[in-house]
Structure 1
Amino acid sequence: MSQSLIVFDASGVVRYQYNNKTNPFNDFIYAIANDTVLYHDSNFISFKSNQRKFYSIKRDKLYTALYFEVVTTIDQEKIRQTLNDVLKTYLKLTENDEDSSKLKKLIDYQFNQLMQYKQQVKAVDNPSSASPINSGTSTPKKTHVTNSKKKMRKWDNGEMVEDGVDESILDYSESKEGSVGPSDNTQQLKVDLSSFSHQDDLILVNELNDILDDSEDDETTQDGSSKSKGVSSFFNKLSSYFGSTVDIQEITKKFQDQLVSKNIHPATSKLILERINNKFGNKTQVTPKEYKDVLVEELTKILTPNVSTDLLYDIKGRNNQRPYVISVVGVNGVGKSTNLAKLAYWFLQNNLNVLICACDTFRSGAVEQLKVHVNNLKTLNNSTSKIDIFEKGYGGGDHVVTTAKLAINHAQQESYDIVLIDTAGRTHSNAKLMTPLKKFGDAANPDKIIMVGEALVGTDSIDQAINFNNAFGNRRNLDFFIISKVDTVGDLVGTMINMVMATKVPILFMGTGQTYTDIKRLNIKRIVDMLTN
């Protein structure tokens, strides 16, 4: 791990350095000078070179930068905050001619705090960490206590292996005294059935309408665009600024800034707008409305599925004794288990028998979390369908594959229609953690693989989507996305464009809350309006 940080000016002269390791920054400074870096916004910059990831904040004519020699699991916002604080400290103390030892002490402290945070994050992500990860769901305490000291599971050559674990502690495959009962989290047991609609003999998930912003506060202008009361929309401001016609390059720059401000990756927005400019051919002047209409058409085409998302028809229309198998994957903490439970509730409403398979056999409490969900769903289930959990406790290596195969066989014998397989969260940039997915996919051979991605993640969503899409080998890809936590981002919905455009994988649902009916189908027109107005 690198522990190097510098402050340098626009000419490349280093003004401050944490240690003597400044040579690796030469490539980064050269990339800034040649504008080949990635601008997350006007001030925050990143760059990859020689297995290093550089990050920088620019202010006035000064930059502060650091790098990591391996892929870091620190979120970019934490890095941005630290770099910003370091640069503020440098500017303030140098302007006031403070003692250099004070400057060094403060900057070193800020940087070391980030390094300590990195170690904490690594301890959580590292399978050998002894600290359990909070599942986000209330899990009752186990009553069978033992005095034997438990060693933890770890990854070895892409496989999870036990490190001297007492399996009697970890095995929950048999019911025991103090087994997990209904959740104390009553919020999840409050469901809003208006989230669903009836069509023929099916229960369908409704489209997203007013989760992201209040539709009652919207007005419609004469050209059909929307604006919020009291606040002019981007397009209305643009039309007022430019008037009738405008140079196509100038309006392209305005729309690129707009798309980036909505969390669309700069490179992705550039590609989209290049396609639009190609459609105009040799034209150099366009009206704002002409340009927006073509952009709306392009964004709509990107988000429109090129495969059928009628999952219910696919499930009910198959003539196969094997149950329909769906596997849910994603990075740590995005809400895989919660959204899997939402899918299960929707299937129950459609009178389908659901077996949930606990194949997150690594994360502490993962099996218990699913048990809580299953007990909640049993309580809420008012249909003739059934739901249960299949689990074989915790284990490593081939344990996950064996559990999945046994679950599918059990589901076939007991006439379950669907098997929903939960999987361990994993860092998308860690090849050792991603490698076992192919082995799992080949063995379980799921009918559909769904990745849960966060609406909050921003531009990193591209790497996440691509890495998971490629993880299952040449013969398999992701089939759908579920975008979680959409209710937290307002109109900054660019993550959806990033993931779909990078992989050509359609969005099945969006997670919009914590209860089992908090899922919505994608309303493409609504999303496109948010991106362009």
Structure 2
Amino acid sequence: MAFENLADRLQETFKKIRGKGKVSEADVKQMTREVRLALLEADVNFKVVKDFINRIKERAVGQEVLKSLTPGQQVIKVVQEELTTLMGGEQSKLHMSNKPPTVVMLVGLQGAGKTTTTGKLANYIRKQQNKKPLLAACDIYRPAAIKQLQTLGSQLDMPVFAMGDKESPVEIAKQAVAKAKEDHNDIVFIDTAGRLHVDDALMEELENIKEATQPDEIILVVDAMTGQDAVNVAESFNERLGLTGVVMTKLDGDTRGGAALSVKAVTGTPIKFVGMGEKLDALEPFHPERMASRILGMGDVLTLIEKAQATVDEEKAKEMEKKMRTMSFTFDDFLEQLSQVRNMGPLDEILGMMPGANKIKGMKNLKIDDKQIGHIEAIIRSMTPAEKTDPDIINASRKKRIANGSGTSIQEVNRLLKQFKDMKKMMKQMMGMTKGKKKKNPFNLPFM
């Protein structure tokens, strides 16, 4: 998970002051020392860390904190606000031109994931804003770059404009914009050539494409795994091209995340999107305030809701709620739910967005094995329709048959049956259907 090490360090630091009735300057000094170390270890730019710590010190020893009723919590609020400001303050959206087509030029070094990001970004804009994109293949140097973009276009059912590798990238870009006007495409994504490092020839070509197409957005694609190098690359591109935004790829694989915390402060260029996986829909708009909440262990409910809205069928959800209320929830329904939740992304990432998840014992080291979920699905699919509807009829011989049919053990079948039973009990509590008993806290879940 992105920022994992930094999140652990900061959350550990804030535990010490969270419940304090009084926070002294010595407490603030100790806390900021630990925060400074945590940020430097996360590969955040040294100057950025220095300015950030100074702002926190200034606010944390001020009247708003020392005279508040809960000074410990107030200090954490100050850190959250400053962390949000550091990453850009608020979400920076893609600028759409009033006179279509909007031209988006993607730039970056080789290996940052620029061509794949071109496809992901076009896919996102089409889904979210109902636009009609055109992809332009202007990388004539890297072997198979044009073919890669055409393959992505085919997978996404999107047109790709290409003129082979003999025409100049500037001419291809100009013709692509003309083609978009002719075919009434709302937006053109220009996939430009990368290099192994920043050089004058590359920059000159990009400047010529910029002059020829007058792009509305110049987006730099950088690899979060390269740490401070990503920030240095952003500075170089920004000086020559005047970037309007950054897409940070592989943020799901970088446990430090320092580049994401430094890039806005160093270049003034906001992060607009982050790549969170290999799939073509694994691109998320970057929300600084939500990322700050995630880093400080406060969860990210809004992103969780958006993911659910994008993947969960509303009619099916209503039907499922009705079944839960009437306690007619079956293993078939459970399979359906499992499938919809998996579509939202990796389950450990989803759980990490829940507020307070970091405080649940064992949650920090929780790694949800996809293979294990596959076992659950195989067990359910090996049941007869009658067994799925009424698991109470599953006796010893049926368990043996289900285990053999799913390639699992009787112990695994028993475990799933018990978990399903516990889950139904929990639903009963949450729906307020426990009669004649004091209603239990719905969050005393059996598996927590």
TM-score normalised by L of structure 2: 0.57
Shift of 1:280: 5.5
1:474-502 per-position Cα deviation (integer Å, ceiling 9, x unaligned): xxx21121111111124x22221211111
- Asked if structure 2 preserves the Cα contact closer than 8 Å seen for 1:358 and 1:390, the reply is yes
Ranges in structure 2 where 5+ consecutive residues have no aligned partner: 298-448
Cross-structure match for 2:117: 339
Q: Match of 1:520, SS?
A: strand
> For 1:392, which of 159, 163, 168 is the aligned residue?
163
Q: Which moved more, 1:324-333 or 1:342-351?
A: 342-351
2:262 aligned with 1:493:
no
1:26-79 per-position Cα deviation (integer Å, ceiling 9, x unaligned): xxxxxxxxxxxxxxxxxxxxxxxxxxxxxxxxxxxxxxxxxxxxxxxxxxxxxx
Cross-structure match for 2:31: 251
2:171 aligned with 1:406:
no
Q: Match of 2:188, SS?
A: strand
Describe the shift of the 1:324–1:256 C-alpha distance in structure 2 as closer, same or farther (beyond 3 A). Answer: same
> For 2:107, which of 329, 341, 360 is the aligned residue?
329
- Asked if structure 2 preserves the Cα contact closer than 8 Å seen for 1:329 and 1:449, the reply is yes
Q: Match of 1:435, SS?
A: helix
2:269 aligned with 1:269:
no
Task: Report % sequence identity.
Answer: 27
Q: Distance in 1 between matches of 2:205 and 2:89?
A: 29
Cross-structure match for 1:299: 83
Q: Match of 1:483, SS?
A: strand
Q: Distance in 2 between matches of 1:526 and 1:306?
A: 9
Cross-structure match for 1:356: 135
**Counterpart mapping for 1:422-461 below 5 A:** 422-461=191-230
Q: Distance in 1 between matches of 2:192 and 2:110?
A: 10
- Asked if structure 1 preserves the Cα contact closer than 8 Å seen for 2:13 and 2:35, the reply is no
1:60-108 per-position Cα deviation (integer Å, ceiling 9, x unaligned): xxxxxxxxxxxxxxxxxxxxxxxxxxxxxxxxxxxxxxxxxxxxxxxxx
Shift of 1:420: 0.8
Cross-structure match for 1:482: 247
Q: Distance in 2 between matches of 1:369 and 1:242?
A: 59
Describe the shift of the 1:371–1:391 C-alpha distance in structure 2 as closer, same or farther (beyond 3 A). Answer: same
Q: Distance in 1 between matches of 2:154 and 2:119?
A: 11
Describe the shift of the 1:294–1:389 C-alpha distance in structure 2 as closer, same or farther (beyond 3 A). Answer: same
Letter in 1 for 2:159: D
Describe the shift of the 1:428–1:306 C-alpha distance in structure 2 as closer, same or farther (beyond 3 A). Answer: farther
Q: Which has the higher strand share?
A: 1
> For 1:376, which of 118, 131, 155 is the aligned residue?
155
2:294 aligned with 1:515:
no
Q: Distance in 1 between matches of 2:220 and 2:80?
A: 26
1:204-237 per-position Cα deviation (integer Å, ceiling 9, x unaligned): xxxxxxx6599xxxxxxxxxxx989xx9733215
Letter in 2 for 1:437: L
Q: Distance in 2 between matches of 1:240 and 1:520?
A: 34
Q: Match of 1:233, SS?
A: helix
1:368-404 per-position Cα deviation (integer Å, ceiling 9, x unaligned): 11111111112xxxxxxxx2111111147xx111111
1:156-188 per-position Cα deviation (integer Å, ceiling 9, x unaligned): xxxxxxxxxxxxxxxxxxxxxxxxxxxxxxxxx
Letter in 1 for 2:291: I
Q: Match of 2:37, SS?
A: helix
Describe the shift of the 1:438–1:276 C-alpha distance in structure 2 as closer, same or farther (beyond 3 A). Answer: same
Q: Distance in 2 between matches of 1:250 and 1:232?
A: 14
Letter in 2 for 1:509: F
Shift of 1:325: 0.8
- Asked if structure 2 preserves the Cα contact closer than 8 Å seen for 1:494 and 1:531, the reply is no
Letter in 1 for 2:141: F
Describe the shift of the 1:273–1:532 C-alpha distance in structure 2 as closer, same or farther (beyond 3 A). Answer: farther
TM-score normalised by L of structure 1: 0.49
- Asked if structure 2 preserves the Cα contact closer than 8 Å seen for 1:305 and 1:506, the reply is no
1:5-40 per-position Cα deviation (integer Å, ceiling 9, x unaligned): xxxxxxxxxxxxxxxxxxxxxxxxxxxxxxxxxxxx
Q: Distance in 1 between matches of 2:40 and 2:82?
A: 16
> For 2:240, which of 471, 477, 490 is the aligned residue?
471
Describe the shift of the 1:242–1:250 C-alpha distance in structure 2 as closer, same or farther (beyond 3 A). Answer: farther
Cross-structure match for 2:144: 365
Shift of 1:334: 0.8
- Asked if structure 2 preserves the Cα contact closer than 8 Å seen for 1:428 and 1:463, the reply is no
* C-alpha RMSD over aligned residues: 3.2
Q: Which has the higher helix share?
A: 2
Shift of 1:426: 2.6
Q: Match of 1:450, SS?
A: strand
- Asked if structure 2 preserves the Cα contact closer than 8 Å seen for 1:246 and 1:288, the reply is no
Shift of 1:245: 2.4
Aligned residues: 288
